[in-house]
Chain A
Amino acid sequence: MFEKVLIANRGEIACRIIRTCKKHGISTVAIYSEADIDSPHVKMASEAYLVGKPRVNESYLNIDKILEIAQEAGVDAIHPGYGLLSENTTFANRCEEAGIRFIGPDSSVIARMGSKVEARKAMVEAGIPVVPGIARPLLDVEDAVELAKEMNFPVMLKASAGGGGIGMQIARDEDELRKAYEGNQKRATDFFGDGTMFIEKCIENPRHIEIQVLADGEGNTIYLWERDCSIQRRNQKVVEEAPSIFLDEETKVKMGETAVKAAKALNYTNAGTIEFLVDEQKNFYFLEMNTRLQVEHPVTEEITGIDLVEEQLKIAAGEKLSFAQSDVKREGHAIEVRIYAEDPKTFFPSPGKITTFLPSKKPYVRNECAVSEGSVVTPHYDPMIAKLIVKGKDREEAIEYLLHALDDYKVEGIKTNIPMLQEVIGHEAFKNGDVTTKFITKYLKR
């Protein structure tokens, strides 16, 4: 096992990774920007280094500086967390070149899965179902219009390099498609430096259900069942749960086995997630693969009892998986909600100083927090300030627990989405399991 690990991230995920490292006696190195000097992850780590100015490209995305710190601190490995450099091929390569283990898959797999066009091609080759569409980049707007007419509107236009909903838009007719093409190509070029676009059939009222996989370097690949992450705002997840209420056991197994098949075809190692869109008839289609730890990984940990960060560390250190598919238990029902610093009605960001921060202390609650009382939420980073996870013996109990926990949760000084989360979790449609990616627009009218 490693002796010292640098966590190239911030916020709750840095804290979460440090916790597991500590459990295994691994020293931790935190990095922080000038804006994060008082952040919880800085205090938790064995050592902490200033990485740069607040902006991400001057701090958490500064590969040279991060590697310089890693070498100065003498770490064996770097855990990238999620977001930031976690799916950056150059970073993964540079770590390996510097003789530091990158905790994640091989950079060639990251590169393939990072391009939507390439990922789709790889999945088609592996015999994994994909959303009807084309496996090549669009030539121009006329090409897009012609293809959309062939596959019938509505269609989904996507930027190959996109993420977090950026560069992705539904077009219901030719006029909408023309506008969407122009706008999104420009945005993709500005945000990701790559304006490659592609198009696929739009699945109506889909559910977003993903499968967690674990693969060691010895050919053992297993799945840790599904997470339903259908409830989203601005194409970003807000509520995640496991198990899925919509799928039957047969489909769950089929999706799990499909995910394993995909991971094996890629020679995947470490933890990864295969995201699927599931239509009303329970047909599932590959959406994308995230070659890293997911924000919502705790719901899987809660129902399986497996510490995913621990498994990541072990795999990266060259250990074999210590359990087989048949050893993976499932027990109870877990739900996670993401607490964002934002207006609960408009979803506009709400930066500022947190004057009161009191998460629920109920025994069935797991808190993952990026902030504490007195923290300043700056405009430089993602608005997620915390995650709240509950586990009950079944979904009904988990919902009841979550409503109590949300009721307890007190954040003052900034606006949060807690009132919106209460609306979602308390909604009859949520209780009935009518959870599709359209939930917030359909039931909350926003």
Chain B
Amino acid sequence: MSEVKSNMAGNLWKVLVGEGERVEEGQDVVILESMKMEIPIAAETSGTVKQLKKQEGDFVDEGEVLLELS
């Protein structure tokens, strides 16, 4: 199991994947909005989305877990 973490603080603008969905390494899974800029966050490993930890509109801090992959 692995996690996708936020590399900076910001608002979670878009979640691009759903639970149960297969994602590949390097695929953008969420888009953060920070300082009026959109920042895509990619999965570092391939896997299936086990659980979304944050929802669109949530504020996330640097290092927070966004979703879990299995």
Interface, chain A (partner B; CB < 8 A) = 55, 164, 234, 341-342, 347-349, 351, 378-383
Q: Is the CB of A378 within 8 A of B37?
A: no
Instruction: Tell me whether B70 is interfacial, beta carbon within 8 Å.
Output: no
Residue B1 at the A interface, CB < 8 A?
A: no
Q: Is B52 an interface residue (CB 8 A)?
A: no
Contact in complex: A341, B35 (CB < 8 Å): yes
Q: Across the interface, which residues of B come within 8 angstroms of A341, CB to CB?
A: 35
A-B contact pairs, 26 of them (CB 8 A): A55-B11, A55-B59, A164-B36, A234-B37, A341-B35, A348-B8, A348-B39, A349-B8, A349-B10, A349-B34, A349-B37, A349-B39, A351-B8, A351-B9, A351-B35, A378-B9, A379-B8, A379-B10, A379-B11, A379-B34, A380-B35, A381-B35, A382-B35, A382-B36, A383-B35, A383-B37
When C-beta atoms are compared, the residue in chain A nearest to B34 turns out to be A379
**Quick one: which of A55, A351, A379 has the most chain B CB within 10 A?**
A379
The residue in chain B whose Cβ has the minimal distance to the Cβ of A348 is B39
Residues of A close to B11: CB separation below 8 A: 55, 379
Q: Give chain B residues whose Cβ lies under 8 Å from the Cβ of A378.
A: 9
Chain A hits for B39, CB < 8 A: 348-349
Task: Please indicate the chain B residues that have their CB under 8 angstroms from the CB of A347 in the complex.
Answer: 37
A169 to chain B, nearest CB (A): 14
CB proximity to A under 8 Å, residues B9-50: 9-11, 34-37, 39
Contacts A378-B9, A379-B8, A379-B9; A351 near B34 (Cβ below 8 A)? yes
Chain B residue contacts of A348, Cβ below 8 A: 8, 37, 39
* B55 CB → nearest A CB, Å: 15
| Residue count of chain B within 8 Å CB distance of chain A | 10
Minimum CB–CB distance from A302 to chain B (whole Å) comes to 27
Provide the bound-state CA to CA distance between A381 and B39, in Å. Answer: 15
Tell me, in angstroms, the Cα distance from A383 to B34 when the chains sit together: 9
In the bound complex, CA of A349 to CA of B11 (Å):
13
Docked complex Cα distance between A234 and B39 (Å): 13
Give the CA-CA distance A344 to B35 in the complex, in Å: 15
Q: Which residues of B contact A379 (CB under 8 A)?
A: 8-11, 34-35
- Select from chain B the residue with minimum beta-carbon distance to A381: B35
Residues of B within 8 A of A380 (CB): 35
Please give the distance in Å from A159's CB to the nearest CB on chain B: 15
What are the residues of chain A within 8 A of B36 when measuring CB–CB? 164, 381-383
A235 → chain B, closest Cβ, in Å? Answer: 12
Q: Please, which residue of chain A has its CB at the minimum distance from the CB of B37?
A: A349
Specify which of B11, B35, B59 lies most central, judged by the most chain A CB atoms within 10 Å of its CB.
B35
Going nearest first, the 5 A-B pairs with the smallest beta carbon separation are A349-B35, A379-B34, A383-B35, A379-B10, A379-B9
- CB-CB under 8 A from B35, the residues of chain A are 341-342, 349, 351, 379-383
Q: How far is the CA of A378 from the CA of B39 in the complex (A)?
A: 15
| A293 CA to B59 CA, complexed, in Å | 31
Q: In the complex, A105 Cα to B11 Cα: how many Å?
A: 33
A166's nearest neighbour on chain B, judged by CB, is B36
A350 (CB) vs chain B CBs: closest residue: B8
Q: How far is the CA of A303 from the CA of B37 in the complex (A)?
A: 33
A384 nearest CB neighbor, chain B only: B35
Chain B residues with CB under 8 A of A383? 35-37
Closest-by-CB residue of A relative to B59 is A55
Cβ distance A344 to chain B, nearest Cβ, rounded Å = 15
Q: Which residues of A contact B8 (CB under 8 A)?
A: 348-349, 351, 379
Closest to B61 in A: A379
Give 5 A-B pairs besides A351-B35, A379-B10 with Cβ atoms closer than 8 angstroms. A164-B36, A341-B35, A351-B9, A378-B9, A383-B37
Residues of A within 8 A of B10 (CB): 349, 379
Q: Which residue of B lies closest to A351 (CB)?
A: B9
Smallest beta-carbon distance A323→chain B, Å: 37
Q: Which residues of B contact A351 (CB under 8 A)?
A: 8-9, 34-35
- How far apart sit A79 and B34, CA to CA, in the bound complex (Å)? 26
A381 CB contacts on chain B under 8 angstroms = 35-36
- Shortest C-beta distance, A61 to chain B (Å), equals 13
Residue with the highest number of chain B CB atoms closer than 10 Å, among A55, A234, A341, A380: A380
Bound-state CA distance A380–B9 (Å) is 9
CB proximity of B39 to chain A, nearest CB, Å: 7
